[in-house]
């Protein structure tokens, strides 16, 4: 009988190790539920959840919506394109309008770092951060760590390298926090321009050589180059990037051990990872997506348990 | 100054003799309802009753409710398999997400494992739990088992039936022992593999604060 130490999920940084383990234990049960003939439980019958997506998303949005529906919650969806945001409405106004329609929980993706944290101070509903700019993406990190645990037995003591556009990646930051709390060693790898100058302060190793990083690690998490967030040129060409930091079959097979390959999606095939690697036995990319629903059900269930009845 | 010290002492002593007594008040005194020999006999009888109704268990599955019903299930499974000399389909069912008290307790319940790796559709299901009290757990269990398909028939087996305390119109088909209890009382079932001995205890609230 555990309870989360936080009232909202804005980032992994606020969670304790025990919180993460509670979420994993709950997710184990939900993973069984979503493999039954009837994939639905009635726990959240009287809860309404709003999904507010101010930024594009396929996986996360679908995954959250499925998780909510499988918990029997009522769901309303909102996306910034085609809404009054374009007419100049502020975030607080938009959210308060939605909340006056009696919504208990808000799942939000927003392009600005700290948007979810800001929202928790302004509204009464529970907030789950589904990605805030370049800051955090907590449910992605939870499902990544959960998938590593599922594949390798445990996270503690494992070596994980995160490769690619670290400076623009909310997945990288959340993953670093989550993996370190669970006792894993983390390394980041990429061109110098895409790695934050002081990232070593978080206690991670830094490498600029992909082969060296892969030889060190048990798990490689390949990130996408986020061209939409890059206002200046960070490297000469995509072709050069993929030759230096792209993961291909030849490189993977030349290692003297089998490493696990992960990717948070969406994949740019041929840039950070080649098709034959993405579709290989070593890649657990689709397991990550499956686990995403179970993890999100667990997070929503544990936070909903704190909502007061009226 | 002296008066202040005196009054602090006074109130402290007052607290010791009144409030603390209230705390000592809630002491639960156990009383053995079933001992090891009696439990063994009761389990034998329950097995024979099950065989009477289900013959060779061709279309019957036993489902233990998590967490405590599972241990009773394991015992019955061993006995039944020895008597019938065949494997009996058994599964564990966790009902956490089907409970009706979500958001009504202080902390959320963390679920246990469900493992039902056979088809429930059309089977005769015997739900197994150690204590039947309000009937709310069994109602959740009925909801939960229906998500695995439509069973032919569902029955209920319980080791202890706390009569007259039902919140819902639910009764057991097989009963180990029926006891009349007060709401303030508690019944616990101990198993050798967990607590070191087979024993059913009834805990009664002591009225005198002299413990």
Please report the domains of chain A, with CATH numbers, ordered by start residue. Answer: 12-137+291-304 (3.40.50.1370), 138-288 (3.40.50.1370)
Q: How far is A96 from chain B (nearest CA, A)?
A: 24
Give percent above pLDDT 70 in chain A.
99
Please, are residues A123 and A99 in contact by the beta-carbon 8 Å criterion? yes
Which positions ≥6 away from B156 have C-beta within 8 Å?
B126, B127, B129, B132, B138, B170, B171, B172, B173, B174
pLDDT tens for residues A108-139?
999 999 999 999 998 889 999 999 999 999 99
Q: What are the residue ranges spanned by the domains of chain B?
A: 37-180
User: Class for domain B37-180, per CATH?
Assistant: alpha beta
Which positions ≥6 away from A175 have C-beta within 8 Å?
A140, A141, A144, A145, A160, A162, A186, A221
Complex ipTM > 0.90: no
pLDDT tens for residues A30-85?
999 998 888 899 999 989 999 999 988 888 999 999 999 999 999 999 887 767 77
Cite the active site residues of A: 59-60, 87, 109, 137
* Structure tokens that stand for A156 in this block: 């503690």
Instruction: Identify the contact set of chain A against chain B, taking CB-CB distances under 8 A.
Output: 1-3, 22, 25-26, 28-29, 32-33, 36-38, 40-44, 71, 301-302, 304-305, 307-309
Instruction: Identify the contact set of chain B against chain A, taking CB-CB distances under 8 A.
Output: 94, 96-99, 102-104, 106-115, 143, 146-149
Nearest-by-CA chain A residue for B108: A305
Distance of alpha carbon A152 from alpha carbon A184, whole angstroms: 12
Helix extents (H) in chain B: 2-25, 36-54, 69-84, 136-146, 192-195
pLDDT tens for residues B115-157?
888 889 999 999 999 999 999 999 999 999 998 889 999 999 9
Classify each residue of B26-50 as buried b or exposed e, where b means 16 or more C-beta atoms within 10 Å of its C-beta. eeeeeeebbeeebbeebbeebbeeb
pLDDT at site A159: 96
Are residues B111 and A29, on separate chains, in Cβ contact within 8 Å? yes
Residue of A2, A6, A25, A36 best to disrupt the B interface, most CBs of B under 10 A: A36
Kind and range of the H or E element at A110?
A: strand A105-110
Are residues A1 and B146, on separate chains, in Cβ contact within 8 Å? no
């Amino acid at each position: 009988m555990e309870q989360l130490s936080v009232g909202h999920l804005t980032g992994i940084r606020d969670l304790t190790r025990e919180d993460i383990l509670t979420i994993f234990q709950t997710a184990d049960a939900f993973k069984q539920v979503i493999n039954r003939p009837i994939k639905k439980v009635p726990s959240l019958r009287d809860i309404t959840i709003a999904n507010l997506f101010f930024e594009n998303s396929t996986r996360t949005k679908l995954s959250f919506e499925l998780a909510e529906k499988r918990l029997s919650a009522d769901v309303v969806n909102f996306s910034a394109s085609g809404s009054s945001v374009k007419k100049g409405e502020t975030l607080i106004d938009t959210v308060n309008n939605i909340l006056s329609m009696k919504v208990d929980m808000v799942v939000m993706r927003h392009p600005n770092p700290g948007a979810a944290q800001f929202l928790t101070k302004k509204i009464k509903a529970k907030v789950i951060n589904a990605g805030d700019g370049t800051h955090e993406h907590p449910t992605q990190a939870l499902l990544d760590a959960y998938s590593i645990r599922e594949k390798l037995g445990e996270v503690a003591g494992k070596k994980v390298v995160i490769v690619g556009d670290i400076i623009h990646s909310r997945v990288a930051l959340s993953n670093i926090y989550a993996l370190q709390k669970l006792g894993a060693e983390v390394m980041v790898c990429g061109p110098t321009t895409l790695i934050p100058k002081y990232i070593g302060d978080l206690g991670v190793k830094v490498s600029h050589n992909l082969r060296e990083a892969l030889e060190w690690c048990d798990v490689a998490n390949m990130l996408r180059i986020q061209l939409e967030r890059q206002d200046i040129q960070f490297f000469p060409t995509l072709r050069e990037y993929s030759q230096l930091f792209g993961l291909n079959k030849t490189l993977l097979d030349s290692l003297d051990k089998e490493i696990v390959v992960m990717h948070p999606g969406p994949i740019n095939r041929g840039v950070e990872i080649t098709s034959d690697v993405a579709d290989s036995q070593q890649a657990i990319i689709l397991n990550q997506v499956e686990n995403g629903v179970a993890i999100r059900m667990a997070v929503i269930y544990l936070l909903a348990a704190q909502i007061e009845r009226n | 100054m002296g008066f202040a010290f005196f009054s602090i002492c006074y109130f402290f002593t007052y607290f010791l003799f009144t409030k603390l007594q209230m705390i000592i008040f809630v002491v639960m005194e156990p009383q053995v309802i079933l001992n090891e020999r009696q439990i063994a006999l009761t389990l034998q009888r329950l097995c024979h009753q099950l065989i009477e109704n289900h013959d060779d268990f061709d279309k019957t599955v036993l489902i233990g409710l998590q967490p405590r019903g599972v241990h009773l299930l394991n015992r019955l499974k061993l006995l039944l398999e020895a008597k019938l000399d065949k494997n009996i389909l058994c599964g564990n069912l966790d009902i956490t997400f089907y409970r009706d008290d979500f958001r009504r307790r202080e902390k959320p319940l963390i679920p246990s494992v469900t493992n039902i790796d056979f088809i429930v559709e059309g089977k005769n299901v015997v739900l197994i739990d150690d204590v039947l009290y309000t009937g709310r757990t069994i109602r959740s269990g009925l909801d939960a088992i229906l998500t695995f398909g439509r069973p032919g028939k569902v029955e209920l087996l319980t080791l202890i039936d706390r009569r007259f305390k039902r919140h819902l119109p639910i009764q057991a088909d097989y009963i180990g022992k029926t006891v009349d209890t007060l709401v303030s009382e508690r019944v616990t079932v101990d198993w050798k593999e967990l607590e070191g001995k087979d024993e059913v205890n009834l805990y009664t609230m002591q009225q005198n604060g002299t413990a």
